[in-house]
A and B are shown apart, each in its own frame.
Chain A
Amino acid sequence: DIQMTQSPSTLSASVGDRVTITCRAGQSINSWLAWYQQKPGKAPKLLIFKASSLEGAVPSRFSGSGSGTEFSLTISSLQPDDFATYYCQQYKSYSWTFGQGTKVDIK
């Protein structure tokens, strides 16, 4: 199985901050990486696929980059609705695997 490692585990930030979350794959996954957002008590929501493509309704302040083994999710100006936990997921090969999550909370 391909191991996915996110950093940091928790990130404290303020509204308006630029924040970046990193995801590292245990082997090359090309660009087969997705990002999900999850709020407490809710199901996850797909934000980004193929490392940098935004899902249709996702605000443009979200962006993704990377390929191979190193990836990042950036929120250019953090909004109140963005405080949540973010997960990366590789879909290069079964078993699909997720990172352990990064919680973005209010500083």
Chain B
Amino acid sequence: EVQLVESGGGLVKPGGSLRLSCAASGFTLTSYTMNWVRQAPGKGLEWVSSISSSGSYIYYIDSVRGRFTISRDNAKNSLYLQMNSLRAEDTAVYYCARESEYSSSLFGYWGQGTLVTVSS
């Protein structure tokens, strides 16, 4: 069974840093495109970043490029999102999502999310 478990969220001051983790089980991370998708409180979904199965292709939404870094640890079968220079507008639930069986561009499996709050 595919499982994704996020951790690492919390309260951080503007300008601070946080690293989110996503522990994957039931599949091998390096076989699938992995993503981070966020949802601000009471708002809609926003794709944040993707890393291809090979690790060769990495994409970011413009608003986080240069501040966030997606990475993975193949030995731990875990995905990460290093978030630096955090802003109030980064406050959201962050979901880790795996590609679906139908397309690497779809979000077929999701974790439960971890809340990041950026506030002084």
Contact = CB atoms under 8 A, between A and B. Distances in A.
Q: Check if A and B associate.
A: yes
Interface of A: 1, 32, 34, 36, 38, 43-46, 49-50, 53, 55, 87, 89, 91, 94-101
What class of interface size applies to chain B in its complex with A? Answer: 20 to 34
Contacts of A94: 50, 59
Contact of B100 (A38, A55, A96, A99): A55
A66 B26 CA distance: 35
Given A55-B100, A91-B103, A91-B105, A43 B110 contact: yes
B113 A43 contact: yes
Contacts of B107: 36, 44, 46, 89
Contacts of A38: 45
B108 interface: yes
B102 A50 contact: yes
8 contacts: A50-B102, A55-B102, A87-B44, A91-B105, A94-B59, A95-B62, A98-B45, A99-B44
A46 B111 CA distance: 13
Interface of B: 44-47, 50, 59, 61-62, 95, 97, 100, 102-103, 105-108, 110-113
Contacts of A50: 102-103
B4 to A, nearest CB: 9
Contacts, number: 57
Question: Top 4 nearest A-B pairs by Cβ distance?
Answer: A43-B110, A91-B105, A96-B47, A98-B45
Majority SS at the chain A contact face: loop
Given A43-B95, A44-B107, A100 B44 contact: yes
Contacts of A97: 47
Contact of B61 (A43, A55, A89, A95): A95
A38 B80 CA distance: 24
Nearest to A99: B44
Contacts of A32: 105
Nearest to A98: B45
